[in-house]
Amino acid sequence: MSITRLSNNKYKIIIELGYDILGNRKRLTKTVNGTKNEAIKIEADLKSKYYHIGKANNISDLTFEEYSQIFLSKYCDKISLVTKDGYEKSLKRILPIIGKIKLNKITPLVLDNMYQKLKIGKNSQVLGYHSMYGYYKLINVMFNQAIKWEVLDKNPNLKANKPKREKAERKYYDLEQVQKLLSCLEYENIKYRTLITLALDSGARRSEICALRWSDIDFDTNLMRIDKSLKVIRGVVDEATTKTESSKREIMLSNSTIDLLKEYKEWQDNYIKWVGKKWKGTNRVFISQYGDYMHPSTCDHIMRKIVKKYELAPICFHELRHTSASILIHKGINPKAVSQRLGHADTSITMEIYSHTFDITKKESAMAFDEVLKKA
């Protein structure tokens, strides 16, 4: 602690507050306008107020809230904006429940109690599997990282109750519904037609489609390269590489889709000339009014608009991906090929997600063979 004279009737007071949990020195600095005696009196008041802080923090005193601040600052600098934003939103609900508990005092029972409270979301709505698994996964990542940093020696979340996946059927269109959708699109503008047709053909995610540039499409080979994903977090564009390494892939598109893309490209080239100096020149396939990125949520808006306008069976844009996969499965395409086209890390993921569709295909195969036997 010290008092330094800066000029006439101006003094700087420094109070040492020890070290934080990471070993960083902590200080309180205050500038006082007045006499030296007044500065001495203020220093004494500050000493009295902060005397108990002037020591090094013990690692065992670290609360979950304090650890979360360290985690967000040290760990989250190497993850995507999307993931970090999700972590921050989840922690806003987690911290009021276990934030004040010392990290080394958190047990599986404490976590189970927390999950029960988290299960009831806004407006008393019970959260589903994906929301609860998001909380569970974050806690797991945080405790595993604490072990790596040697803050803890075990992860209590491993013995907590893991959220159970509900077996819910995926919504998708059958072939007849797809034909109806495509016939309706004939009355729509070229952008809507191309966007939805490409989603059906490729099975790509909306974030992958919005990240596409014309250089990603080879009109000679019909190949479309997917290696980026575009998301917008609080107005900031996060255009990182795809979700996983397996998400990087090349998809061969149908001739019909390629022809539609060529027609759309010709329209866009003419549109660029018409816009003139207002064009932002991003070379993206799907664009906003003046050539900047198209927000992924626009895909949902367009799909809702089409469904409502033509009174089609309710389906969201992401479910075009399920539709694409289901059509391939019904057509007898090898599960591994379907998995690679969708960008899944493992064929088992595809099998699990589309188990209902595979079951239907198995029944159809059995029935088909039964017809063969009856005619024999």
- What pLDDT is attached to residue 121? 79
Please tell me whether residues 226 and 183 are part of one structural domain: yes
- Mean pLDDT for 79-91 is 86
Distance CA 322, CA 319 (A): 5
Please tell me whether residues 42 and 85 are part of one structural domain: no
- Residue 295, domain member (yes or no): yes
pLDDT tens digits for 173-194?
Answer: 888 999 999 999 999 999 999 9
Please tell me whether residues 244 and 313 are part of one structural domain: yes
Please tell me whether residues 50 and 75 are part of one structural domain: no
Please tell me whether residues 22 and 68 are part of one structural domain: no
Please tell me whether residues 211 and 309 are part of one structural domain: yes
Q: Which residues contact 82 (CB under 8 A, 6 or more apart)?
A: 231, 233, 238
Query: Which whole-number Å values give the CA distances from 367 to 8, 48, 114, 358, 361, in the listed order?
Result: 98, 85, 49, 14, 10
First-to-final CA distance of the chain: 99
Please tell me whether residues 98 and 183 are part of one structural domain: no
Please tell me whether residues 307 and 220 are part of one structural domain: yes
Distance CA 138, CA 86 (A): 9
By residue range, what is the domain housing residue 230?
Answer: 175-318
What CATH number is associated with residue 205?
1.10.443.10
Please tell me whether residues 135 and 194 are part of one structural domain: no
pLDDT tens digits for 113-146?
Answer: 999 999 987 777 888 888 899 999 999 999 999 9
Confidence of residue 346 (pLDDT cuts 50, 70, 90): low
| Number of domains making up the chain | 3
The residue count of the chain comes to: 376
pLDDT tens digits for 237-275?
Answer: 777 665 556 678 999 999 999 999 999 999 999 999 998
- Mean pLDDT for 90-94 is 95
Please tell me whether residues 97 and 225 are part of one structural domain: no
DSSP string, 69-135: HHHHHHTGGGS-HHHHHHHHHHHHHHHHHHTTSBGGG--HHHHHHHHHHHTB-GGGPBP-HHHHHHH
Contact status, residue 210 vs residue 286, Cβ threshold 8 Å: yes
- What pLDDT is attached to residue 68? 93
Which two structure tokens, joined as six digits, stand for 329? 């499965």
Predicted confidence (pLDDT) at residue 370 exceeds the cutoff of 80: no
